[in-house]
Structure 1
């Protein structure tokens, strides 16, 4: 019978061409097949695998060899130290988006209500994390995909969050008329002809959540323009965008007369989130 150590070694070799973390992927998939934590693999490297476990592992391994992302195989991904349900209906949570959380938490008071909307919530990682970290905040979360919105609702239930209202809406189109203190979004921002859409995990993610017209700026323009009608005076706008869109997004914000426009860098030092504050004038 094959043993854990040798099975993992062979699997890592098989995944080397499709993954930058081949051994980790193999360990995660074997844990899934065994229904055991990774510590089990460390503690019992010479333990023989039962045929049913080996067959289950081989089936999972075949999916990964075909490029299916680990998060879609396992059905979950960690974000801000919480575990979220993930399906091919939603984007896979990425560490870069935690920058949105860091910036938001600096703006949201801990001792009083604060109205927030998360546009294009997907799996709900942004709205649910903010709702959990700021229980007094009143959140709304939108998505135009019923399937994605259902995943977000399931994640809210999983984490016992009750201060979010979910809306099936294309950006602001179908939300109640109200004003927010903070509008936040991680919208589609990849150009429709970008070659990266044909590479890696991105090939399996929902295209509508990834790419936008106007070289990836179409949805950002819609949100930034409409947000002025939905922000309280001196409210805040935070939008995640591509590393190569800094100048275009800053120019957009400034042309729309947002104040204090600033772009923040992600974990890799790349421009990733732009901030603007809505200061009304006599014409607003």
Structure 2
């Protein structure tokens, strides 16, 4: 079987063949008459069979690009979505010149959100690259103001600088996130546990979370992904409400201290567009002193909730 013949088998054949041959797509078109070895042919046809059965390309290649970075993925984690890049952009646009922040990513999965934040914030703002990825240069529909970002000098001792934390209920997902953190050479403190429970003695300025928010699976292509990373009870709102409760019940010395660094400033959430009113009502119920603002994604649908403590600004 030649490369030319291989490319006719499926719309995603070029991606899968590049993966098998460990060559870029340009190679395929420069050498269409190259013959695959027996092992290459066997592996390629196996991937094509799985792809025709509905397997996502990311699970077949073990890789997915997010915010200009390549992430390792497997069936233990949700495949990073392009729309979630808007959550990263929103957070970056809001922190502005704040040089001392602790950021916690709950339900981190592959780690794509917290790693993208850490990698972006480690870029020297004087270089003029903001955000550094091509996708990141696109603006949200709300058109947030472009601004320079703080230069991180995280000390890990509560002093001035940027510190990054992440947790997940799945130990298998945490293994993937840790692998990605090592790949991108960022320092992130990971813990295993349920939302804020592993962090009872820690304080954070920002909580970001892309928690399961679907009431049921609606897209057949998601059947290969972990259901626990997609579906939540109470019409998809169970975990978001649980998070709000945990924040409310946190002691003043923990998540909501009275003074000093670590007083919660922002909560950033991804949501189902149909949950807009319910998210606002839950935030008002559990965090009455906070202000909720909804942002649209690039398809102009409500997608992100920014919940802000106005007393700190």
Question: TM-score, normalising length from structure 2?
Answer: 0.79
Match of 1:226 among 224, 229, 246: 246
The aligned counterpart of 1:20 is none
The aligned counterpart of 1:40 is 27
The aligned counterpart of 2:228 is 208
Structure with more strand by fraction:
1
Q: 1-side partners of 2:68 and 2:177: how far apart?
A: 17
Higher RCO (CA-CA < 8 Å; seq separation 6+): 2
Match of 1:266 among 270, 273, 297: 297
**After the TM superposition, which parts of structure 1 deviate over 3 Å for at least 4 consecutive aligned residues?**
231-234
Query: What is the alpha-carbon root mean square deviation over aligned residues?
Result: 1.9
The aligned counterpart of 2:39 is 52
Residues 258 and 276 in structure 1, CA contact (< 8 A), matched pair in contact too: no
The aligned counterpart of 1:142 is 167
The aligned counterpart of 1:19 is none
The aligned counterpart of 2:270 is 240
Tell me by how many angstroms 1:234 deviates: 6.0
Q: Which residues of structure 2 form unaligned runs of 5+?
A: 123-151, 153-161, 257-261
The aligned counterpart of 1:187 is 211
Q: Which residues of structure 1 form unaligned runs of 5+?
A: 13-22
Question: TM-score, normalising length from structure 1?
Answer: 0.87
Q: 1-side partners of 2:54 and 2:177: how far apart?
A: 25
Q: 1:275 aligned to 2:262?
A: no
Tell me by how many angstroms 1:7 deviates: 2.0
The aligned counterpart of 1:98 is 85
